[in-house]
Amino acid sequence: AQKVTQAQTEISVVEKEDVTLDCVYETRDTTYYLFWYKQPPSGELVFLIRRNSFDEQNEISGRYSWNFQKSTSSFNFTITASQVVDSAVYFCALSELITGGGNKLTFGTGTQLKVEL
Amino acid sequence: DTAVSQTPKYLVTQMGNDKSIKCEQNLGHDTMYWYKQDSKKFLKIMFSYNNKELIINETVPNRFSPKSPDKAHLNLHINSLELGDSAVYFCASKGRGQGIGNEQFFGPGTRLTVL
């Protein structure tokens, strides 16, 4: 069965600090996708990034960067120079193929990030 | 232009009542989902429909019945509501393009409170 572990329940940082959110996954599939979603205090779920199992290239988007390491089954997310607006719950998720054409997302338990002034 | 919309946004009701939550997507997607987020923020899939056909039905009490009248709509009906049903329910949709690689687009959520 698929499993996603986000061991950090809550992280508090001061603005401008860098912070890394950890994600470790388990799957027997050779082809899979990993995702990060952000849930700000307003409650909606916002897609941040997708990474497939064959692409271990790290990705950077502005202050956000992602480090995918298949050898350790990890897909960590780093925010550089954090800002108060980054305060949110961040979810890592793993996608598996479902018969019938859909996919099923298994979510981690989320990491609550609090960025303070 | 709202991509995935849900109504109502808030729903407060008494135990034992029957209620429905509606979901519509205007993205032209084939697959739609219902997720439940509990008070600890844990997100778990409940159902998925692909082209109006049920393809995922997790271990959910049969008081919960999804209905998909067409590809753009997936409604959730809940009978005999219980206190434990209090949660935020998210609808989501996904396009076909990259198979399992497509991201799911989520609606704003419906906060259900059972008293």
Express each pLDDT in A4-47 by its tens digit.
Answer: 999 999 999 999 999 999 999 999 888 889 999 999 999 999 99
Q: Which of B50, B100, B104 sits opposite A100 (nearest CB)?
A: B50
> What's the rounded mean pLDDT across residues A50-76?
90
Strands annotated E in chain A: 3-5, 10-14, 19-21, 24-26, 33-39, 46-52, 59-61, 64-69, 74-79, 88-97, 103-107, 111-116
Of the candidate ranges A109-113, B28-32, B107-111, the one whose mean pLDDT is the lowest: B28-32
> What's the rounded mean pLDDT across residues A43-52?
91
Q: Which residue of B has its CA nearest to A92?
A: B43
CA distance, residue A44 to nearest chain B CA (Å):
5
Are the Cβ atoms of A99 and B100 closer than 8 angstroms?
Answer: no
Are the Cβ atoms of A47 and B50 closer than 8 angstroms?
Answer: no
Residue B98 has pLDDT above 60, yes or no: no
B41 touches chain A (CB under 8 A): yes
Are the Cβ atoms of A109 and B40 closer than 8 angstroms?
Answer: yes
Residue A54 has pLDDT above 90, yes or no: no
- Residues from chain B that touch A95, judged by Cβ atoms under 8 A, are 100-101
Q: How confident is the model at residue B56 (pLDDT cuts 50, 70, 90)?
A: confident
Residue A21 has what pLDDT?
98
CA distance, residue B71 to nearest chain A CA (Å):
13
What CA–CA distance (Å, rounded) separates A8 from A68? 18
β partners of residue A114: A12
B51 touches chain A (CB under 8 A): yes
Residue B14 has what pLDDT?
97
The fraction of chain A above a pLDDT of 70, given in percent, is 97
